Structure 1
């Protein structure tokens, strides 16, 4: 069975040795909003890029050497992954255009050295300026298979009118959009005290909020060609699908507390515009993954590993999907490669 991992993290291979690129990353984190970016040296001698919010609460960690082309391909060989799609994890929320250009160029370099096994997506500020659209078109011409976005920028989720100029271009081009979570949701203070609540559930809140705002805003009426692929199973959205689809009550109520309209539209958006990254599926559990595929459809989920957050997640994820999840062979093929091949138009 062919396996495509759509969630292989990418950072410039010279991030820790190229002062200009490193400063581009460190300087982009908005310190005035409590985002603290720093580098320290580990006991192993490798350098370590850390993002904290608030001070003393780590949300993101990059280790020197983990993001090379060689590391990616070696892990893929060990795990039985044939192809991978790269994206910048989390940090794209802040990167400026010049740093994004360097990130994109290195992604294309890795793709070219991978023997056709790795594919690049476009990392770009989402403000729709002419110079940013020029960079988008340059990357598409070089072979980018899709675009990546953060699910919010500062205080703004993607349904905000600020993003419409960029979304209009993406809609016209018909490019698939990977929507990666950010380190914390906009409303984050209730989850920061405990590591797993902050670093796992914080990302789930971020994604489920993003998906909900996109669905209820009606943005896909304006941009019907957009296909958003959300990480973290869309923040557990399979568990919310029925609950968050408007239903009309079967009796007259004294007070209408919920909006009962728009259910058909929500279902349409979920069919046509919203898809899900099946991020390290073994972490979620057999029952949960089978339920997600049954509720939203196997044609709406794409396998991902978040490599190299944990090296083991790639191999564990493949093993889990191959041998533990009880689904049809046709559904397994869709999740593990068919959906990725179709949506990103992969030449595989």
Structure 2
């Protein structure tokens, strides 16, 4: 079985129902430098997210999320099951809209005949109602994990304000998928050039998030918590040895990193969020540095259809063991997201 662990979904109602769309637009934090625009190209509505204002970062086209279209493209790609995620918008949704999205995601699971499974979304600062909604997603809706953002405002997920939600996810045995935001907290030097802003911005965000989680007390407090980071953790594989040195450099670096190595083995996993842009050499290095049991295939479809249709073949061409490819293409996702 082939599992694509990163396929994006938005509800049809966001594009067809002005009430839902207006509710969504009110959630976007425009006073904090993020703006949403609605565009109509004649055949379809699109929602464009700018961060900061005037800098294009996300775009969503309603036709991209049609079930029949997605299933046909999955068939063409040889993908059996897709794990559905929201493409960044989980950062802003209030609880009422989260409840609606969770209901629609459960309906999408059923309509797909099990070929698409979804992750729950709730606001990150958990009160009793938020925790009740997470429990409903697990117990009643049958959703397969929890999706969060790498940071909210200026706070990354190691911040104590997010512990109640992460506690609840761990107690429910729900894997937490960490989606990148459009830009890291500190982004002033990244915004001028499109590829730097849209690619490096996301990677810097993830790399910062992973590193803060790794060196905080998060996994000491929550040893059962499993977190999957997108974008291969921002290329974390390239920094693993440097961040966990064994040579103290005359005392300049901390070398007592046994706990961090344990967290990396036990708690952190990495989804590639499209294979081709990394290139085969980087993917092989990621397997070597992180272990094949920690690397997960995902395409970021429908951002580019070619990332879906050519992604599996890219993994199959890697110069790694066949067992490693099996882990990447389905075993890891099956275990983390309770598939099958």
Question: 2:256 aligned with 1:258, yes or no?
Answer: no
Q: TM-score, normalised by structure 2?
A: 0.97
Matches within 5 A, 1:228-243: 228-243=227-242
Q: Distance in 2 between matches of 1:327 and 1:259?
A: 32
Q: Give a deviation string over 1:220-265, Cα, whole Å, max 9, x none.
A: 0001111100000000000000000143437xx3xx433333x111
1:86 matched residue in structure 2: 84
Q: Distance in 2 between matches of 1:336 and 1:227?
A: 19
2:62 corresponds, among 56, 61, 64, to: 64
Q: TM-score, normalised by structure 1?
A: 0.95
1:302 matched residue in structure 2: 296
2:310 matched residue in structure 1: 316
SS at match of 1:65: helix
1:272 matched residue in structure 2: 266
Q: Is the 8 A contact 1:280 1:313 kept in 2?
A: yes
Question: 2:333 aligned with 1:340, yes or no?
Answer: yes
Question: 2:22 aligned with 1:23, yes or no?
Answer: yes
Q: Distance in 2 between matches of 1:14 and 1:304?
A: 26
Deviation at 1:336, TM superposition (A): 0.2
1:328 matched residue in structure 2: 321
Q: Is the 8 A contact 1:24 1:95 kept in 2?
A: no
Q: CA RMSD in A?
A: 1.2
1:100 matched residue in structure 2: 98
Q: Distance in 2 between matches of 1:295 and 1:171?
A: 26
1:135 matched residue in structure 2: 133
2:31 matched residue in structure 1: 32
2:123 matched residue in structure 1: 125
Q: Give a deviation string over 1:24-71, Cα, whole Å, max 9, x none.
A: 2211111111111110122x5321100112222100000121112222
Matches within 5 A, 1:133-282: 133-141=131-139, 142-249=141-248, 253=250, 256-261=251-256, 263-282=257-276
- Structure 1: gaps (5+ residues): none
Q: Give a deviation string over 1:80-107, Cα, whole Å, max 9, x none.
A: 1000111111111111011111111111
Q: Is the 8 A contact 1:13 1:106 kept in 2?
A: no
Q: Is the 8 A contact 1:281 1:289 kept in 2?
A: yes
Q: Is the 8 A contact 2:248 2:254 kept in 1?
A: no
Which structure 1 residue ranges, 4+ long, deviate > 6 Å from structure 2? none
